[in-house]
Amino acid sequence: MKAIIKKKLTEIEKEYQIKILYSCESGSRAWGFPSPDSDYDVRFIYLRKTEDYITVQPKKDHLSFPINDELDIYGWDISKVLQLITRSNTTPFEWLQSPVIYKEDKTFKMELWKLCQSYFCPRSNIHHYIGVAQGAIQTMQGEKIKIKRLFYVLRPLLAALWCVERNTIPPMSIFPLMDILSDDLREKIISLIEFKSTADEGFLIKLDQDIKMWIDKTFDYCMEASQMIKRKTFDIKEADLFFRKTILI
């Protein structure tokens, strides 16, 4: 599949006359808990021709493609990525930490990741992750939840808790996030990851009571803690300099 994805990315570059600076896997395969039927969530950051950025006509800042049974692929223009970073959006923060890379300019990636550190707002990220977890919790059917949705609760809550306790951009993968758990809870979640690797994403699982208590407690704690954290505002000068440097390469 990796060869197919790389070939597709090369075709996209040629067809749209862009340069893909970075491409990675997002979703469960990058988060550390894929199922046998998990699709491939391919994301990329691209650069257009310089003259496309020096125009009074607005240009499309993303590329999306039909989703098939295995492959979900889309990309964002560097201008869009930088706009999101200046708003402390979690998505670029996660993409740049993906353990599965399809294409990369290593210098670009390293410098963009360094830039991200200047635009991290813990409060904004906590609220994002809590929102994702809350949406997944609402899909519960009595005491049961689809195993895919359970991890859409667990990983975001772990990331929110990381923001509260570590005050840094949380890791993308669930495994380093679990460092903040007790040994018992970590073992239970690892067992669920192992089970998920053999189960369809739609499999309904009864929620363990210890895990449920942790979810409820962590949700409330992170929500309360976020109210004590000031929302940051950022100067976009550093991002503008990065943008100009990138498009003039």
Residues 184, 111 share a domain:
no
Alpha helices in 60-146, H assignment, sequence order: 78-86, 90-95, 106-117, 122-137
Contacts of residue 200, defined as CB under 8 A and 6 or more positions apart, other chains included, come to 35, 36, 37
Residue 133: give the domain boundaries: 122-227
Phi, psi (degrees; rounded to nearest 5) at 149: -70, -30
pLDDT at residue 55 is higher than 90 = no
Task: Say what percent of the chain tops pLDDT 90.
Answer: 84
Residues 131, 104 share a domain:
no
Side-chain-side CA neighbours of 135 within 13 Å: the count stands at 10
Query: Per the domain annotation, does 233 fall within a domain?
Result: no
What does the angle CA 218 – CA 222 – CA 224 come to, to the nearest 5 degrees? 120
pLDDT at residue 211 is higher than 80 = yes
Query: Per the domain annotation, does 161 fall within a domain?
Result: yes
| pLDDT band for position 56 (cuts 50, 70, 90) | confident
Do the Cβ atoms of 121 and 231 come closer than 8 Å?
Answer: yes
Residues 113, 26 share a domain:
yes
Residues 130, 46 share a domain:
no
| Largest CA-CA distance found in the chain, in angstroms, rounded | 58
**Mean pLDDT score across all residues of the chain:** 94
Query: Per the domain annotation, does 234 fall within a domain?
Result: no
| pLDDT band for position 198 (cuts 50, 70, 90) | very high
Query: Per the domain annotation, does 232 fall within a domain?
Result: no
| pLDDT band for position 169 (cuts 50, 70, 90) | very high
Three-class DSSP labels, 121-142: CHHHHHHHHHHHHHHHHCCCEC
> What's the confidence (pLDDT) of residue 188?
96
Residues 217, 165 share a domain:
yes
pLDDT at residue 249 is higher than 80 = no
Residues 149, 126 share a domain:
yes
DSSP-based three-state secondary structure for 238: helix
Say how many C-beta atoms besides its own lie within 10 A of residue 102's C-beta: 20
